[in-house]
Structure 1
Amino acid sequence: MTRIALIRHGSTAWNKEGKMQGSTDVALDNEGLEQARKLGLRLSDEPWDIIYTSQLSRAKKTGEIIATELGITDIREDRRIMEVSGGQTEGTTEADRIAKWGTGWRQLELGMETEQAVLTRGMAFLDDMMQEHAGKHIIIVSHGSFIRHLLKKLAPSLVQDSNLKNTSVTRFTVDDDVWECELYNCTAHLV
């Protein structure tokens, strides 16, 4: 059985400002650094073998902090797990987008990555990872929108009624290609 933890990166200044980050490389803020440390401490009493991160610094730094707390030296970057590209919307707030493009801005062609493109790269990553690390315990540090897209595919009956929180853990066991979600959007380490 393979165990996989999908983790959203720690907080950034743009998270707090409500700005769309997408593929823009925004660093963790001080709170995000502390969130990652607390998550690493939380995970330290569980066996983990490897950490994958997006190449964007907010996910990469979160993964590095977790790796330090866990004593893991096998940490790898993969571009396929980076955040969904927001095209022209990156760096804008909801109010900015409405002012510039109107309330129907989501239906406009603004260079945003499609759900199908996200799923294509995300599922290819998971397939490759599962072939290489079957039976291992794997941490994947990525981004909110990217993880939400994957969850629609991996756990279609899962009710995603709120945004994923920074450093939240969503954990799966995988046995015979059956993905079982055993924990969703958990931030118990932050309380």
Structure 2
Amino acid sequence: MLFIEKEMRRRLIIGLVRHGKTDWNAEGKIQGQTDIPLNAEGLRQAEALSERLSREKRIWDAVVSSDLQRAQSTARIIAEKLAIPLLEGDPRLRERYFGEVEGTKELERHTRWGKDWRQVANGIEPDEAVRTRGLNAIKQWQSEHPNRKLLVVSHGSFLAQIISELCAELEDQHLNNLSYSILELRGEKWYPQLYNCTIHLDL
């Protein structure tokens, strides 16, 4: 009985949402930690996911996001629709810092630094650093609020790193704006319940 109770305490789910579209997304520019707001389409996307979640069985206790405005605006729309707390923005959930590449389009990157621009351009935050800050946030939530189910709104490159670290067997996919994923921790291992789902954008 004690073993079963211990295992139940160690079960945790988190939802992972990429923020809505911005003008820089539409133009193909890398944003990184440049603080770009949602555009009209991004706001509509956030409304679409919030509407979907309001019709599904409620599983989320609170929403937390990066402290960048495109993520915070997405999170606020969802939290208000679901009538659940919106926690303070967490800088550990920010997008990868892309250094001098931020604000550039693909052609410009290839022209200036070549196709291996990720290894050549200055100031790009390493994968390990992105994963470390994200995992530190998750571990803190587990420790302080082990039974709270959090919906996390963040950024594409950041979320890709976290998902790859927690569920290495998953196929690497481009995470679309307002994609919705769910991971469940059972014992010491994370399992995907939903991955990169955007059906709410097709309605």
Length-normalised TM-score, structure 1: 0.95
Partner in structure 1 of residue 43 of structure 2: 33
Unaligned runs of 5+ in 1: none
Structure 2 residue 97 is matched with structure 1 residue 93: no
Q: Is the 8 A contact 1:64 1:75 kept in 2?
A: no
SS of 2:17 mapped into structure 1: strand
> Residue 136 of structure 1: CA displacement?
2.2
Give me the whole-angstrom Cα distance separating, in 2, the residues matched to 1:111 and 1:170.
29
Counting only pairs closer than 5 Å after superposition, residues 68-83 of structure 1 correspond to structure 2 as 68-83=80-95
Pick aligned residue for 1:5 from 10, 15, 21:
15
Partner in structure 1 of residue 185 of structure 2: 174
Choose 24-33 or 167-176, whichever is displaced more.
167-176
Give me the whole-angstrom Cα distance separating, in 2, the residues matched to 1:42 and 1:63.
14
Unaligned runs of 5+ in 2: 1-10
SS of 1:75 mapped into structure 2: coil
What letter matches 2:181 in structure 1?
A: T
> Residue 25 of structure 1: CA displacement?
0.3
Q: Which protein has the larger Cα radius of gyration, Structure 1 or Structure 2?
A: 2
What letter matches 1:105 in structure 2?
A: W
> Residue 48 of structure 1: CA displacement?
1.3
How many residues align structurally?
190
Q: Is the 8 A contact 1:39 1:167 kept in 2?
A: yes
Give me the whole-angstrom Cα distance separating, in 1, the residues matched to 2:142 and 2:32.
26
Length-normalised TM-score, structure 2: 0.90
Structure 2 residue 53 is matched with structure 1 residue 43: yes
What's the RMSD between the two structures over aligned residues? Answer: 1.1
* 1:37-88 Cα distance to aligned partner (Å, 9 max, x none): 1111111232310111000000000000000110012422110010000000
Give me the whole-angstrom Cα distance separating, in 2, the residues matched to 1:165 and 1:104.
23
Counting only pairs closer than 5 Å after superposition, residues 51-62 of structure 1 correspond to structure 2 as 51-62=63-74
SS of 1:14 mapped into structure 2: helix
Q: Is the 8 A contact 2:75 2:86 kept in 1?
A: no
> Residue 109 of structure 1: CA displacement?
4.3
What letter matches 1:27 in structure 2?
A: P
What letter matches 2:180 in structure 1?
A: V
Give me the whole-angstrom Cα distance separating, in 2, the residues matched to 1:179 and 1:171.
10
Choose 139-148 or 68-77, whichever is displaced more.
68-77
SS of 2:137 mapped into structure 1: helix
Q: Is the 8 A contact 2:100 2:121 kept in 1?
A: no
Q: Is the 8 A contact 1:10 1:31 kept in 2?
A: yes
